[in-house]
Amino acid sequence: MLVIVAPGQGAQTPGFLKPWLEDPVFASRFDWLATVAGLDLAHYGTEADAETIRETQIAQPLLVATGLVAALELFPHPADAFDQIGAVAGHSVGEIAAAAGARVITAEQAMVLVRERGKAMAQAAATTPTGMTAVLGGDREEVLAVIETHGLTAANDNGPGQIVAAGTMEQLAAFAEEPPAKARLMPLSVAGAFHTHHMEPAVGHLAGLARSVSVHDPRTRVISNRDGKVVHDGREVLARIVGQIASPVRWDLCLDAMDDLGVTGILEMPPAGTLTGIAKRALKGVETFALKTPDQLDDARAFCAKHGESSGLGISPTWRMVVSPAKGTFHIAADSADAEVLSSGTTIGEVASLRDRTVVAAPHGGRVVEWLVEDGDLVSPGQPLLRLHPEGGQ
């Protein structure tokens, strides 16, 4: 099982794009996305200093454009990618790159969204001095309790031993004076308290734009930052990307989902290293590949071939499939078990795990063609549960 991941803000370093832009095809495609974003991204990825590319409205489009064009280098025939990719995920802004890679939105739509996301988050951050501090080590429950005591938000939960606290600079200063036991604090070079209520104004702006964005259901499993669930409704993928601006990134739950899927290989798109580093600590025995420079592409393709297998979602048109969002036991809803036609939004059942119970609805509705599971079956994330035809379909 191969999972492709896209990094979030902070992964960029000065000059990281130089070797990539030596390829005229990459440079041409990158210039097109930069034009859509209205930014000289080639300059920012090659000549700009660390302080400049730290700026939210620059860093975010730079990361998404790099990931999207590098994906075309890795898979020159994009349709072939879905015979290998079992799932995709992105950390924070990386979710936009992941959504475009899964064909939920186009590359151009992704660049407009990330351009506006970066601008809106920068404006929100300018309202009140806020920031973020990484908490390394310590007892997890104690770390979360001390974060809450100081009125901060656990904005990123990145897995074992790494939680990021976010809030006002005053709250962070008090937190530094009374840190959790056996934990090391590392202030992050970011412009604001991302993934907290401080970003609510940016959510409203992006939500307004998102209403005009056409979407498709993903061609492979998309693992969501919100809760680690597999999402297979394009509208919900986009809604989660919008809401995620002001809600915590639960990368720990994304890692749990990858484990549930049986991942054997994780490949991180450039600028790579952060997410594969986390995966090495959290998912023992899983191979990782950090794609940093174009001279690694042949080895990266071999890595994909070694671990790749189709998610199975492309066998039939994805608009007529309802899939499981998580690992657990599936219980069919009594009202849906014998129904011949289901309306949009109808609950078809729920997936019960040791952690929670997740309701599963038919996002599009239609005529029931075939149940692919039975009541009480164990299911995995992204597993097809029900096949539907649109009403009136043959």
Condensed to tens digits (0 to 9), the pLDDT of residues 136-178 reads 999 999 999 999 999 999 999 998 889 999 999 999 999 999 9
Higher pLDDT: 285 or 309? It is: 285
Alpha carbon dihedral 298, 28, 63, 14, in 10-degree steps, equals: 90
Give the N- to C-terminal CA distance of the chain in Å, as an integer. Answer: 34
* pLDDT above 90 for 316: no
Give the span between the Cα atoms of 367 and 197, in whole angstroms. 41
* pLDDT above 80 for 113: yes
Confidence (pLDDT) at 79: 78
**What is the band of 318 on the pLDDT scale with cuts at 50, 70, 90?**
low
The per-residue pLDDT for range 19-64, each reduced to its tens digit, is 999 999 999 999 999 999 999 999 999 999 999 999 999 999 999 9
Q: Is 195 in the active site?
A: yes
Q: Are 131 and 102 spatial neighbours (Cβ–Cβ below 8 Å)?
A: no
Q: How far is CA 385 from CA 291, 338, 390, in A?
A: 34, 15, 16
Q: What percent of the chain has pLDDT over 90?
A: 90
- Specify the amino acid at residue 129: P
Under CATH, which architecture does the 126-187 domain have? 2-Layer Sandwich (3.30)
Degrees (nearest 5) of the Cα angle 26, 269, 228? 140
**What is the band of 367 on the pLDDT scale with cuts at 50, 70, 90?**
very high
Average pLDDT of the segment spanning 374-391: 92
Identified catalytic residue from 91, 150, 195, 232: 195
Q: How are strands ordered across the β-sheet holding 366-371?
A: 321-323, 384-389, 366-371, 341-342
* 218 Cβ neighbours under 8 A, 6+ residues apart: 88, 99, 102, 103, 104, 231, 232, 234, 237, 313, 318
* pLDDT above 90 for 3: yes
Would you say domain 318-389 falls under CATH 2.40.50.100? yes
* pLDDT above 60 for 394: no
Confidence (pLDDT) at 167: 97
Q: Is 216 in the active site?
A: no
* pLDDT above 50 for 263: yes
* pLDDT above 70 for 393: no
Confidence (pLDDT) at 49: 96
Confidence (pLDDT) at 317: 55
The per-residue pLDDT for range 191-248, each reduced to its tens digit, is 899 999 999 999 999 999 999 999 999 999 999 999 999 999 999 999 999 999 999 9
* pLDDT above 80 for 319: no
* 188 Cβ neighbours under 8 A, 6+ residues apart: 10, 131, 132, 133, 134, 164
CATH class of 2-124+197-307: alpha beta
Q: Are 281 and 135 spatial neighbours (Cβ–Cβ below 8 Å)?
A: no
Identified catalytic residue from 91, 92, 307, 336: 92
Higher pLDDT: 30 or 310? It is: 30
Give the span between the Cα atoms of 260 and 283, in whole angstroms. 11
Q: Write down the mean pLDDT value for the chain.
A: 94
What are the structure tokens assigned to 115, written together?
Answer: 């351009």
pTM of structure: 0.91
* 116 Cβ neighbours under 8 A, 6+ residues apart: 205, 206, 209
Query: Where do the domains of the chain lie?
Result: 2-124+197-307, 126-187, 318-389
Average pLDDT of the segment spanning 98-116: 97
